[in-house]
Amino acid sequence: MTHAEAASRAAFLSAELHRHNRLYYVEAKPVISDKEFDEMLRELQDIEAKFPDLVTPDSPTQRVGGAPLEGFTQIRHTVPMMSLDNTYSEEELAAFFARLQKGLGREKIDCVIEPKVDGVAMTIRYENGILKHGATRGDGQTGDDVTNNLKTIQRLPLRLPGDGPQTFEVRGEVFMPKAGFAKLNQEREEAGEALFANPRNSTAGTLKLLDPKIVAKRPLDIVFYGLADAGGLDLQSQTDVHALLDRAGLRKADLIWRADSAEGLLAAIRELDEKRRSLPYETDGAVIKVNSFADQRELGVTSKAPRWAIAYKYQPEQAETKILAIDIQVGRTGALTPVSRLEPVLVSGSTVSNATLHNYEEIERKDIRVGDVVIIEKAGEIIPAVVSVKKEHRTGDEAVVAAPTHCPVCGTAVHRDEEMVVIRCPNPHCPEVVKRRIEHFVSRGAMDISGLGESVVAQLVELKLVQDVADLYALNELLLARLERVGAKSIDNYLKAIESSKQQDPWRLVFGLGILHVGAGGARKLLEHFGGIDAIAAASAEELMQCPDIGEVVAVSIHAWFREAHNIALLDRLRSAGLNFTQRTVTAASDKLNGTTWVITGTLSQDRETIADTIRANGGKVSGSVSGKTTYLLAGEEAGSKLDKAAKLGVKILSEAEFRGML
């Protein structure tokens, strides 16, 4: 194939693939099979591999992006991305409409009502029909350029149809569909990884990833709701924007209402509340906008929000059900956690049959009994909680729940930690404790032994193939062949992952051992201070307290752990298996961060320990808490109390993009 022939064929394939993407994702009218689509895509990939100069930014092959990014650049918004005023009250919504009437001087005001998708706000620009860039809200004036990650969203056109508008900037919401989120969490559970709390958080975290190839494995989607720059198009209303989205092949809200009175607005939000469970994405309210752009201009904006729009938020959904039983879950540290088993009830679109009770002090404080009628609330999280007891429904047959005196699994007398309000099983050989401890040991944050998920670990323990973490390193093909539904390839992968884990940094081993009160940050501090596990084991409690961030309670816990006979024997076996006990020196990359102290918070593109490594490699120090000595707070999505404290103390707050820029 000559270059000219290749260029002609690539252009044809690209156009056809864009057309079929639109038919499949936008119009839901596919005309070819997935196999035929994949064959065309593969042919285009082969051509572009042979003739790299034919690769275009909008090529269908670019959906998965290229090499991981060093960091996100910033894009200044053409029009600020403002937030909306919101309310949970129908009375306040009626008052909002009254303000519209007063501001415009008439009774009837044409408004549009759309679902408020619970995702991540995005602005996306098209120029000459080609996707130019996409950016997050950021501070409202500038946001992170996440174009490569957005390209992985199959529903988002890289090239617009030629018969529609070509240059404009739209605003939308990136989300994770309910079904895709459930599947993603199922896969994470099977892999022994921590579950995402809700679709919104997982979406925000995914968009912050620096490797588009990883993003492409996450089920992201997008829906559009507004316009930032019409690009010279004559648009007079939000209804015109909806028509524009249709012509451009951009998905708009699945349900849209029009109303011109307060009564109409209330009827719409009530109907949406009834129907939103059937939508493929999570919604937490409705957005009400004045339809006419002329009216919007007349009403104007405040410094933070438009006067012509408001978000009506639904109250967290609650449901009434009955507690059938209260079971006890045993964790890796032996902590006994009460969990209520409920009469199944529909909450937030899913059937709930369990709810957390946190601890026995809460059971006593709320006077929760087996047989009680209770109110549960999901509020966007995976695990719902018992909010209150309907004591007026009591019949006298309800059973008071007593705190356990013995472990329900192994029968060992429990220990009560009064300060932590935790009841523990102290038996290190309790089968449930062993399972949870091994799950923690193999997790990504600890020794990162991929493939050994909860179901595999359960079989290993039940078959007595593994009774502590050191037994993992004695596994072989013959032993693993006893597992159900595990083939030769999986066995080979397990053994390779186990062997590879021997080279992990020793702080991961200390964290993986599950020493009470020792998290990943504390484990790293210990290894940085002492240089090796043997030195930690030999240290007195007073010497341990000389390590930064290690207080008396933690030091006593560490000192006691390393003096228990079965733990000493465990360490000897791990050492004999070839695990790394001595801390490697971090190779210095530069001295750009010399003299600075950093605190990391929120969801970032990499896990915190990896980013902490980068800071240390460039001369900086990392602390777990904000203080007057903190130089910078590196804040990602969903930053919490540390962000507030840093602001109060005047600590400079940096985004990840700004941090990467410093390097």
Between 137-146, 152-161, 402-411, 426-435, the lowest mean confidence (pLDDT) is in: 137-146
Calculate mean pLDDT across residues 56-75.
Answer: 70
**Each residue's pLDDT tens digit, 580-635:** 999 766 567 788 999 899 999 887 877 777 788 889 889 898 887 788 889 999 98
pLDDT at 169 over 70: yes
pLDDT at 65: 46
User: What type of residue sits at position 191?
Assistant: A
pLDDT at 516: 86
**Each residue's pLDDT tens digit, 204-224:** 888 888 778 888 888 999 999
Domains in the chain: ranges and CATH: 3-55 (1.10.287.610), 86-91+100-311 (3.30.470.30), 318-417 (2.40.50.140), 431-501 (1.10.150.20), 506-576 (1.10.150.20), 597-662 (3.40.50.10190)
Is residue 130 a contact partner of residue 156, using CB atoms and an 8 Å limit? no
pLDDT at 143 over 70: yes
Render 26-91 in DSSP notation, one character per residue.
IS----S-HHHHHHHHHHHHHHHHH-GGG--TT-GGGGG-SSPPS-PPEEE-SS------EES-HH
pLDDT at 191: 58
pLDDT at 625: 77
Phi first, then psi, for residue 596 (nearest 5°) are: -110, 150
CA distances from 51 to 2, 41, 44, 48, 66 (A): 10, 15, 10, 5, 17
pLDDT at 380 over 80: no
Is residue 414 a contact partner of residue 394, using CB atoms and an 8 Å limit? no
116 is catalytic: yes
Across the chain, mean pLDDT equals 88
**Each residue's pLDDT tens digit, 301-345:** 886 789 999 999 888 778 899 999 999 999 888 889 999 999 998
**Each residue's pLDDT tens digit, 91-131:** 999 999 999 999 999 999 999 999 999 888 999 999 999 99
Is residue 161 a contact partner of residue 22, using CB atoms and an 8 Å limit? yes
pLDDT at 209: 80
CA quadruple 610, 616, 620, 623: dihedral positive or negative? positive
Give the 3-state secondary structure of 359-385: CHHHHHHHCCEECCEEEEECCCCCCCE
| Residue % of the chain over a pLDDT of 90 | 54
Give the 3-state secondary structure of 141-166: CEEEECHHHHCCCCCCCCECCCCCCC
**Each residue's pLDDT tens digit, 587-601:** 677 889 998 999 998
Question: pLDDT-derived band of residue 377, with 50, 70 and 90 as boundaries?
Answer: confident
**Each residue's pLDDT tens digit, 11-29:** 999 988 888 877 765 565 6
Residue 365 or 469, more confident: 469
CA quadruple 523, 524, 528, 531: dihedral positive or negative? positive
Distance from C-alpha of 307 to C-alpha of 295, rounded to nearest angstrom: 10
Calculate mean pLDDT across residues 549-555.
Answer: 89
Instruction: Outline where 503-590 has alpha helix (H).
Output: 506-512, 520-530, 533-538, 541-544, 552-561, 565-576
pLDDT at 568 over 80: yes
pLDDT at 543: 94
pLDDT at 88: 86
Q: Which residues contact 391 (CB under 8 A, 6 or more apart)?
A: 367, 372
Q: Would the pTM count as exceeding 0.85? A: no
What is the crossing angle of helices 262-275 and 90-104, to 10°?
Answer: 140
Calculate mean pLDDT across residues 268-287.
Answer: 91
| Helix, strand or coil, per DSSP, at residue 578 | coil
Calculate mean pLDDT across residues 76-94.
Answer: 88
pLDDT at 192 over 60: no
| Residue % of the chain over a pLDDT of 70 | 94
Distance from C-alpha of 95 to C-alpha of 556, rounded to nearest angstrom: 59
Distance from C-alpha of 454 to C-alpha of 460, rounded to nearest angstrom: 10
Catalytic-labelled residue, pool 35, 50, 102, 116: 116
pLDDT at 468 over 60: yes
Residue 571: name the closest of 518, 609, 540, 535 by CA: 535
Q: How many CA atoms lie within 13 A of 166 on its CB side?
A: 5
Is residue 341 a contact partner of residue 363, using CB atoms and an 8 Å limit? no
pLDDT at 190: 63
